[in-house]
Amino acid sequence: MRVKICGITTVEQGSAIATLGATALGFICVPESPRYISPAQIGSITAALPPPYPDCIGVFANASLPTIQATVARAHLTAVQLHGQESPAFCQAVRAALSQVELIKALRVRSAADLASAQTYEPYVDTLLLDAYHPTQLGGTGQTLDWEKLTQFRPARPWFLAGGLSPENVLSAIAQLSPAGIDLSSSVERSPGDKDLAKVAQLFEQLHQYE
Contact 182, 161 (CB under 8 A): yes
Give the type of residue at 171: L
Decide if 6 is catalytic.
yes
Decide if 114 is catalytic.
no
Q: Which of 6, 29, 56, 91 is catalytic?
A: 6
Residues 191 and 211: their CA atoms lie apart, in Å, by 30
Q: What are phi and psi of 103, to 5 degrees?
A: -115, 120
Q: Which of 29, 56, 91, 131 is catalytic?
A: 131
Q: What are phi and psi of 117, to 5 degrees?
A: -65, -15
**Which residues are tagged catalytic?**
6, 131
